[in-house]
Structure 1
Amino acid sequence: MTSTDLHFVDAHHHLWDLGHCNYPWLMAKGKMRFFGDPGPIQKNYLIDDFLAESPDYRPAKSVHIQVGVAATDEVKETAWLQSQQPYPHAIVAATDLRAKKLQTALEAHGQSDRLRGFRQILGRHELEDKKHGSDALLKDTDFLQGLSLLAAQGLSFDLQMVPPQMDQVVALFKQVPTLPVVLCHAGSPWDQSQAGLRSWREGLEKFAALPNTYCKLSGLGMFNPHWNEAALRPIILQVLDTFGPTRVMFGSNFPVDKLYNNYGCLWQTYDRVTANFSTTERQQMFCTTAENFYRI
């Protein structure tokens, strides 16, 4: 299969205009993040930049995931994304699901008809999570109520977490069985030792046993900055074995993963690793799963 034959949805990417919204982490020069030095991407990243990443690999559709905008600019970010063309086709926005005026916030975001769901990060990396206390959401009844409200309004949730949180995550999402949930970045396999990958795999199996759960292969460069096809192959195949092609989607996590490799190489890797799957299975994992989940 040649690169021009690959028809795909990029189910996880970012855009930002530093002159339009306030992105604190993109404006904090010289500050390291859990994924490394953000310096090379601390500048505008617009549609034209996204489309220029590869002459051979261009998504048929795309999904934009919230990217750490200041709380005061969350609705503004959604409206800005709504104004962009021709991408993204779906918007996963940011809001605090614990907020007392959550319904008002959902209505404001909902003025953008490409809104499909929300992400409120539960875990990024152990060291950074200790500073932010994001895992406190797992035991917060207001957060649970917020998730229930998303389900009631036909919205979805993008879940970013780390493997040690999995038991609590499973207990939480058992309580909202009608909410469509997709696990970002393959569940963040930070520990790639034999024991770490075993724990990650066992966690995936627990999560996959829940109804309405999906998994997104994205952001893998954050966990192995020096990745190549051989390194990603077992991660990709494990996710596909656990969830099956009808519950797996692919994303680039660009421009964050641009820190580690180029767009074409990433999609070529996804293409090669899945070459032995049937045409129907590949259509599902590269397009249909994301199209159905995000209703695009």
Structure 2
Amino acid sequence: MTQWIDAHHHLWDLNAVSYPWLMARGVERFFGDPTPIQRDYLLDEFRSEAEPCGVRASVHIQVGAKNGLDEARWVQSVADANRDWPMAQVVFCDLTSADLSAQLDTFQSLTTVRGLRQIVGRAPGEDAQTGTNTLLDSAAFATGLQEAGRRGLSFDLQLIPELMEKTARVLAQAPETQIALCHAGSPHDRSPEGLRDWAQHQRALSALPHVTCKLSGLGMFDHTWTPDSIRPIIETCLDQFGPDRVMFGSNFPVDKLYGDYATLANAYHDLVPVEAHQAVFQDTAARFYDLQLPQAD
């Protein structure tokens, strides 16, 4: 049986690290009402949900801490205290920073760090008010992407379909930097027309050999999702990228707002063709994030 890697999840200890969005009460987010998850979410709880589904290792993704280095050091401490659970992490770093090289030196002193994330786009409405779409016009951002690749660091890319062609032109300037497309490119319009447009836009990214796709976060724009409603997204990603460039991620605890882990895992298990299971649920993530799974029992 394939041992799964969850390639996209979050943890937080509100007493250890400051997360402004988790402290802000009554603020609706692009994915809905965060109130139920505005509490500690620690590794023990995540493991209690993921392990019964066959997950044996994971990748922690930065999640809006006030200070990215504080978060990264805390995640490192969690990994150090739980050696039986292989966990890599992707940290927040502003690639346009004047002191980028020094920041990356510090991050790379942490053994769990594999990559960086700086969100390009979340959702049209939220981006219009607080978004960072303008990163795509920054020469420093493109240079930062190149520096990440020179250092062997990957980049987790979160954006919306409308930005994909423009982003592809930026990514083409950093061919050595491995890119993980978060949340299947955030197809926020789930109408037949919206999914058609998303699939068309995504071809600009799937055509780049250094871009890998995460099947994650699909509940954020479909709060009553069913296997049938996410089927076309999974099928399109597998068709465009191929199983060797597709990996599973739960996006817990954010997607916990819309279903339990077992329901999510079972849906993916059934929707991904059996012959693609080894790649999608283990090998792609293990290779991309350089994760060693524990020996099977």
TM-score, normalization by structure 2: 0.94
Give 1:180's aligned residue. Answer: 178
Contact persistence 1:123–1:134 (CA under 8 A): yes
Q: Does 1:33 align with 2:29?
A: yes
Give 1:273's aligned residue. Answer: 271
1:45-60 map, 5 Å: 45-53=41-49, 56-60=52-56
The amino acid that maps onto 1:40 is: P
Q: Does 1:65 align with 2:61?
A: yes
Give 1:10's aligned residue. Answer: 6
SS state at 1:220 partner: coil
The amino acid that maps onto 2:36 is: P
Distance in 1 between residues matched to 2:129 and 2:180, nearest whole Å: 25
How far residue 95 of structure 1 moved from its aligned partner, in angstroms, is: 1.1
Give 1:121's aligned residue. Answer: 119
**Identical-residue share of aligned pairs (%):** 46
The 4+ residue runs of structure 1 with deviation greater than 4 A are none
Q: Does 1:221 align with 2:219?
A: yes
Q: In structure 2, do the counterparts of structure 1 residues 31 and 7 end up closer, same or farther at CA, with 3 Å as the change threshold?
A: same
How far residue 260 of structure 1 moved from its aligned partner, in angstroms, is: 0.2
Structure 1 gaps, min length 5: none
SS state at 1:60 partner: strand
Distance in 1 between residues matched to 2:41 and 2:86, nearest whole Å: 13
Give 1:257's aligned residue. Answer: 255
2:138 to 137, 140, 144: 140
1:88-237 map, 5 Å: 89-237=87-235
SS state at 2:115 partner: strand
Give 1:83's aligned residue. Answer: 77
More off after superposition, 115-124 vs 188-197: 188-197
How far residue 56 of structure 1 moved from its aligned partner, in angstroms, is: 2.4
How far residue 164 of structure 1 moved from its aligned partner, in angstroms, is: 0.5
Structure 2 gaps, min length 5: 292-297
SS state at 2:177 partner: coil
Contact persistence 1:81–1:88 (CA under 8 A): no
Q: In structure 2, do the counterparts of structure 1 residues 25 and 249 end up closer, same or farther at CA, with 3 Å as the change threshold?
A: same
How far residue 240 of structure 1 moved from its aligned partner, in angstroms, is: 0.5
The amino acid that maps onto 2:71 is: E
Aligned length: 287
More off after superposition, 202-211 vs 37-46: 202-211
Give 1:74's aligned residue. Answer: 68
How far residue 92 of structure 1 moved from its aligned partner, in angstroms, is: 0.2
The amino acid that maps onto 2:274 is: F
How far residue 256 of structure 1 moved from its aligned partner, in angstroms, is: 0.2
Once superposed, what is the RMSD of the aligned Cα atoms? 1.2
